[in-house]
Structures are given as structure tokens and as C-alpha cells.
């Protein structure tokens, strides 16, 4: 007889840690097991006039993808916000990064808008301080009280020792320029030119400190 109704109030299952209840492969009953796509919070850093925010542990072969969610990043001085990575126990954070960037913006006066390739935010292969996440265009992120940037950085398979490391990022923000407020969105993609495992990620402004903001690191199952 086909299963037509399930009384979930009478199901008594105690899954193992990090497991979920799901249909079995025959679709005729339940089992516990891994379900992909979950974000597992690993670490949280909060800025308070911080020169950098460094994730120095928890980046390993456990996950094939790491997501860094940055929220309300506010600089101490007009600045570009970005990231760099490192592969060992030193503090150089000067890996060669190649990136490409697109961005869109629109101001509240409805007289200035743009959508397109942002060459000023691209990064050639070099040991730059940080790859831009919040744009250099539009006079950077300003110190205005209501200016900030939020978004996501996806870092793929950082422990892989065969291929270079890929990343995707998207940022949204508000900034003041020329007496008007601008809404902007920036999308970046690129690779880190190393086949050595990446073990640490740093976030920083290109000048001055990070006045406020929070960054959360997740592993994706």
C-alpha cells in the first residue's frame, strides 16, 4: 500500500551529530545521513578600530567551500575593503591574485547610474595587499556615519594542492558622494595563483583601520 500520510508527531529518531533525517534511496522510508549545502558557522570576528581581521584557524580539508559573510563594514578613513590569503605560519599575506570585477550603482537623486566592467578594481597577478571587495570607484567607502559595505566571499577548495584556488564575491553598500547617497553592488571573481594549501584569510582596508563591522566564516557541507 502506498504511503499517503505521515504522522511526524509519532516519529522517534535520534540522528547522529551533524546528520539529518531524509528519504532513503528507495523513497519508501527514512534514514539519517549527510545533506549537502548546509553552512556551518566556524568563527566570528568583530572589528573595533582593527588594522586587520584574520581567520587563522579552521581553514582545512574539512570543507570544499568556505563562505565569509561580512556585515556593515565601516572604515576609519575613506578606503577600499579587501582580502588576502596566506599558506603557512608566517604573516606575509602577499599571494598573487588575479581578479575581474563588475559593478553597478545608482544614486538617490536618480541622475547618476552605471552598470559595467570596473577596470579600476581588477587585480593583475601580483602580491597586492588585498583584492578589492568593496569598490575603489565612487570615492571608496567613506567615513560617513551611514556608509558601509556588506557581502559574501566564497573561497573554493583552499586545501587543494593540485589546482589554483578560485573565489567569488559580491558586495552591497551605501556611500555618500557629491552630496548624494549611492547604492552600489559589486561582483568579483578570480583565482589565487598558488597550488599550496591556503590556511588563513585576512580582511583589511587599503588605508587605515576597520572602524566597525562583523565577519563570519562558514564551512559548506
Q: Is residue 20 part of a domain?
A: no
Residue 8's SS3 state is: helix
Contact 215, 204 (CB under 8 A): no
Contact 101, 186 (CB under 8 A): yes
Per cent of the chain over pLDDT 90 is 38
Q: Is residue 48 part of a domain?
A: yes
Residue 131 sits in a domain whose CATH number is: 2.60.120
- Tell me the pTM: 0.80
pLDDT band at 90 (very low <50, low <70, confident <90, very high): low
- Is residue 156's pLDDT more than 90? yes
Q: Is residue 10 part of a domain?
A: no
Number of domains in the chain: 1
Q: Is residue 23 part of a domain?
A: no
Choice among 6-20, 30-44, 186-200 with the minimum mean pLDDT: 6-20
Contact 180, 107 (CB under 8 A): yes
The string of pLDDT tens digits covering residues 128-142 is 556 666 644 433 566
- Is residue 198's pLDDT more than 90? yes
Contact 74, 148 (CB under 8 A): yes
Q: Is residue 203 part of a domain?
A: yes
Q: Cα separation of 214 and 181, whole Å?
A: 23
Here the contacts of 119-124 (C-beta below 8 Å, separation 24 or greater) are: 121/186, 121/188, 123/97, 123/98, 123/99, 123/190, 124/98
Cell numbers that stand for 166 in this block:
578560485
Question: What's the domain range around 99?
Answer: 39-220
The string of pLDDT tens digits covering residues 26-44 is 666 767 665 567 899 999 9
| Residue whose C-alpha is closest to residue 137's, from 154, 115, 167 | 115
Amino acid at each position: 500500500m502506498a504511503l499517503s500520510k505521515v504522522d511526524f508527531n509519532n516519529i522517534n529518531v535520534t540522528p547522529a551529530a551533524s546528520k539529518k533525517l531524509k528519504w532513503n534511496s528507495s523513497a519508501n522510508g527514512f534514514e539519517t545521513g549527510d545533506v549537502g549545502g548546509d553552512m556551518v558557522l566556524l568563527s566570528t570576528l568583530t572589528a573595533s578600530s582593527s588594522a586587520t581581521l584574520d581567520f587563522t584557524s579552521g581553514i582545512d580539508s574539512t570543507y570544499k567551500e568556505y563562505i565569509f559573510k561580512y556585515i556593515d563594514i565601516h572604515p576609519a578613513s575613506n578606503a577600499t575593503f579587501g582580502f588576502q590569503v596566506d599558506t603557512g605560519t608566517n604573516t606575509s599575506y602577499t599571494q598573487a591574485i588575479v581578479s575581474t570585477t563588475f559593478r553597478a550603482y545608482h544614486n538617490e537623486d536618480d541622475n547618476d547610474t552605471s552598470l559595467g566592467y570596473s577596470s579600476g578594481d581588477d587585480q593583475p597577478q601580483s602580491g597586492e595587499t588585498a583584492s578589492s571587495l568593496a569598490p575603489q570607484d565612487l570615492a571608496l567607502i567613506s567615513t560617513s556615519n551611514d556608509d558601509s559595505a556588506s557581502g559574501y566571499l566564497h573561497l573554493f577548495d583552499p586545501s587543494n594542492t593540485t589546482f589554483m584556488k578560485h573565489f567569488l564575491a559580491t558586495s552591497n553598500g551605501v556611500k555618500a558622494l557629491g552630496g548624494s547617497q549611492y547604492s552600489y553592488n559589486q561582483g568579483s571573481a578570480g583565482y589565487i595563483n598558488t597550488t599550496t594549501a591556503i590556511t588563513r584569510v585576512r580582511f583589511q582596508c587599503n588605508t587605515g583601520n576597520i572602524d566597525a563591522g562583523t565577519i563570519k566564516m562558514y564551512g559548506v557541507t
